[in-house]
Amino acid sequence: MKADFWHQRWQRNQIGFHQREINTHLQAFWDRLDLAAGCPVFVPLCGKSRDLLWLRSRGHRVLGVELSPIATRAFFDENRLEPVTHTPAGPFERFEMDGITILCGDFFRLTADRLEGVCGVYDRASLVALPPPMRPDYARHLGAILPPDACLLLVTMEYPQQQMQGPPFSVGEAEVRQLFGDRFLIEPLYRQEILDENPRFRDKGLTALEEKVYRLSPPPA
């Protein structure tokens, strides 16, 4: 799955993964990360998610990274924000407004200096957007660029993968532990069967669909 796939999805407005409302799991479990007030947080593959606004309302400075210029501009346009834009210097174009910054470019070209001071990460639509061969690279790169004391709130989906072609892809707990277990302590926080609430997935052939929430934290020193 290459960059062109996501550019085409946004160009064709095939963005069923986008949520119009603030994610309920974010609201319910963000405080479980026990982050310092006002610390910077990171949202990988952020799209045009309004969750960025919620995180900012909690006092955090928010950094997102998004591949699609369409999604990046739509976030600010749809929320009636006028960002300051910066001519690309390196691999990203920078959009920022009132404590929210989106770097438009390839997540895998992010370096640790851009995430300096980040204490928390919110991943609702990043890991599940990636096919199996890309997920280890994503986990390794995220672990390499994050400060050592950063925590994550991770939301995944589980379903019989043979019943539907992703994205979103099914990511089970065993894989979460395999991907992140050498860097983080992994604590399941919540699980819920959501197929009845999402009939479009039943229409695609799914017989089960579960959403899970995890807290990933650095081990004690």
153 is in an annotated binding site: no
Q: What's the CA gap between 76 and 64, in Å, rounded?
A: 13
206 is in an annotated binding site: no
54 is in an annotated binding site: no
Q: What's the CA gap between 29 and 154, in Å, rounded?
A: 10
Average pLDDT, the chain: 91
Q: What is the pTM of this model?
A: 0.92
pLDDT digits (tens, 9 = 90+) for 107-148: 999 999 999 999 999 999 999 999 999 999 999 999 999 999
187 is in an annotated binding site: no
Pairing of strands 210-217, 151-158: antiparallel
Considering the domain delimited by 119-221, tell me its CATH architecture: 3-Layer(aba) Sandwich (3.40)
Q: Closest by alpha carbon to 17, among 200, 202, 180?
A: 200
Choice between 75 and 89, residue whose per-residue pLDDT is larger:
75
Domain boundaries, the chain: 1-12+36-118, 119-221
pLDDT at residue 22, rounded to an integer: 93
Q: How far is CA 1 from CA 7, 30, 151, 156, in A?
A: 11, 30, 28, 19
pLDDT at residue 166, rounded to an integer: 83
Whether pLDDT at 12 is above 80 = no
CATH fold of the domain at 1-12+36-118: Rossmann fold (3.40.50)
